[in-house]
Amino acid sequence: MCHHSKSKIHHPTSSLFLLFPGSSHTHHAPLKQYADRANVCYLGLTPKHSGIDRHAANRHLLPMSFFVTATDTGVGKTHVTRLLLQALRRVGINAAGYKPVACGDRDDGRILAAASGNLPLDTVNPLHLKSPVSPYVASLLENQVVNPEVLLEGFRRLAAVHPVVFVEGVGGWEVPLTATYRMSDLAKDLGLPVLLVAANRLGVLNHILLTLAAIRSKGLTCAGIFLNQLDDQLDTAMITNVSVVRDLAGVPLLEHLIYQQDFLDAQVVRSLACGGTLPLAASHEPPFPIPTATC
């Protein structure tokens, strides 16, 4: 386990700071505190801009968790989240996945529970709706109530014992949970940096830019993009999307996953484990264990 207190992530438009906690303390802080310290730790805000004392934040490090969203359903959120969990746990970081809502089957929750060290399924996925539709529609069909506070409390419990929690949304950014509460509202209430997963195909540039704008409209920051290859056949759009996303998105392209890629680039693993410099585009070097002495 690395015990770095601070490292810089270089990005063409900003200098971002990332803190990885080395504390073994159990945290019971309100979500607002998670959000405030995540902003100081990750989003490049300084005490002058945030109004938060960085030294105080450093003395009480909270989990550096992330909200994983996507441009659409079926583009690889669970696949990417599983790879993130496995990569971090491989180097000794006690990371956990959280799927607050699942509709249809619970396969995503089972995958995350297994990748989180075989946590109980109900801990990882507290709300299961059987209908394979949006949570709002499923709740109407099944006469169930979706209570956002239950979903938030599930995150608090996991974050109290796991220094890193990846919260995987359902579908895309604006999927309705209730008539008045969307997945984006849950992300805002959690206040976490966002990781965006997108399928590399024609139209993804529009989908990425629209989703990034929607994330910013909630006062949140996208920490990076995973561009996922769903097909082994490449066309002109797929080939050019990588460089265009890098040029236009304004956030790091953390990884371009080739078709059926089952590992994360070693640089991304090292960055998440030790707080190194995140690459703007990934090569495809297989991951390897990182001795703590080298962090």
Best CA proximity match to 266, nearest among 243, 246, 289, 245: 289
What DSSP letter does each residue of 70-136 carry, written as one string? ESSTTSSHHHHHHHHHHHHHHTT--EEEE--EEES--HHHHHHHHHTTS--HHHH--EEESSSS-HH
CA angle (129, 225, 36) in 5-degree steps: 80
Q: Catalytic site residue 8?
A: no
Do residues 109 and 123 touch, judged by C-beta distance below 8 A? Answer: no
Rg (CA), the chain: 18
Helix (H, G, I), strand (E, B) or coil at 273: helix
Are 161 and 26 within 8 A, CB to CB? Answer: yes
**Which of 6, 8, 77, 99 is labelled catalytic?**
99
Catalytic residues, by residue number, are 99
